[in-house]
Amino acid sequence: MSRLAILPAALLIALSLAACGGKSSSKAGGISVVTSLPVFADMVEQVGGDRVDVSSLFPTGADPHTFEPGPSSVRGIVEADIVFLNGLDLEPGALKVIQPNLASSTPLVKLAEVAADEGRIELRKFGEEGHIAGEPGEEGTDPHAWLSVPNAREYARVIRDALVQVDPKGAATYDSNYDAYLARLDDLDGYVKETVSAVPKAQRKIVATHDAFGYMSEYMGLHLAAVVAESPGQEPSAGDVADLVKTIEKLRVAAVFEEPQLGSEATVLERAAEDTGIEVCTLYSDSLDDRVSTYIEMIRFNTDELARCLP
């Protein structure tokens, strides 16, 4: 059976629009790609190679939950041959810019939603782990599925299939790059498992800035003990800080983990860590930066940081 015949319905519907286009590509024989997050731009580059010209709507260090692309993003969207988002309401600001400016012939592929519709990844609900003060947490589906390496494999597969649909002449290149990327992800998976296995089970507790690490915790065998804010942009109260300190002391948490793209939540973590005499460490979730510039670097950094901070 051909690959085209087994594509999930959500992807087929989106990609079928491309046949009506006739839009010129930004590269000879290649295509212009826009993504929301830089981490997805990296994945597209790994699979697309020289056949794609990729840009991300969000700059490095931006929080996708709250960031809204400016007018300068419109031209890239108008000229795009394909656009990739995560979906699951992760990027509301991006959709505000994409929806009025995306050509009707340009596919909009929501990576997590396509992979889930096909049954390749299992989505989690928010609040399946602990929160400050034991509250239920944010409602809805957790969109941060890429933080599990097995799920990242499925993101790469969706990207490969979508690129083949809009650029059939590049199929051999996309297949080859995809296979090479899967091999690197397999190596990453082995590194994660070996490194995390050395962390004592009693120490595998995470206190983080927001509820982004459910998939990662499940994948790595960690316990997400508490988060400062149920979703980014919320201002924790004095009571939240006191409850966080109590949680840290009760569970004997070894460290707390801030995220580089978040501000006020990190300040609360730092105050709680100072009160309890524990270290403030870093985990990446939604954004890349100069220190961590690819998906593989992100997961390796997180793995190393967990091993360092949870001895």
Residue ranges in the chain modelled with pLDDT below 70: 1-29, 127-139, 229-237, 262-265
Phi, psi at 244, each rounded to 5°:
-65, -45
Report the run of H or E that residue 15 belongs to, with start and end.
helix 9-16
Phi, psi at 125, each rounded to 5°:
-100, 145
Task: Specify the pLDDT at position 240.
Answer: 72
- Contacts of 134 by beta carbon, 8 Å cutoff, 6+ apart: none
From the list 157, 146, 113, 141, the residue with the least C-alpha distance to 285 is 146
Handedness of CA 195, 197, 203, 205 (dihedral sign): positive
Q: 3-state class of 33 per DSSP?
A: strand
Handedness of CA 215, 216, 221, 224 (dihedral sign): negative
Task: Specify the pLDDT at position 236.
Answer: 62
From the list 94, 40, 39, the residue with the least C-alpha distance to 65 is 94
> Given the structure tokens 């609360």, which residue do they identify?
268
Task: Specify the pLDDT at position 265.
Answer: 61
Return d(Cα 109, Cα 165) in angstroms, integer.
12
| Domain spans, the chain | 3-123+143-189, 197-309
From the list 103, 194, 185, 104, the residue with the least C-alpha distance to 146 is 185
Do domains 3-123+143-189 and 197-309 share one topology? The answer is yes
Q: 3-state class of 291 per DSSP?
A: coil
The CATH number of 3-123+143-189, from 3.40.50.1980, 3.40.50.720, 3.10.20.30, 2.120.10.30, is 3.40.50.1980
Residues 225, 230, 233, 235, Cα dihedral to 10°: -80
Quick: pLDDT tens for 124-183.
987 654 444 334 444 688 999 999 999 999 999 999 999 999 999 999 999 999 999 999
- Contacts of 190 by beta carbon, 8 Å cutoff, 6+ apart: none
Q: Are 101 and 78 in contact (CB under 8 A)?
A: yes
Q: Residues 197-309: name the CATH superfamily.
A: Nitrogenase molybdenum iron protein domain (3.40.50.1980)
Task: Specify the pLDDT at position 242.
Answer: 83
Query: Looking at this protein, which amino acid is placed at residue 273?
Result: A
Q: What is the pTM of this model?
A: 0.86
Q: Are 214 and 225 in contact (CB under 8 A)?
A: no
Given its phi and psi angles, is residue 130 left (phi above 0), alpha (psi -120 to 50 degrees) or beta? beta
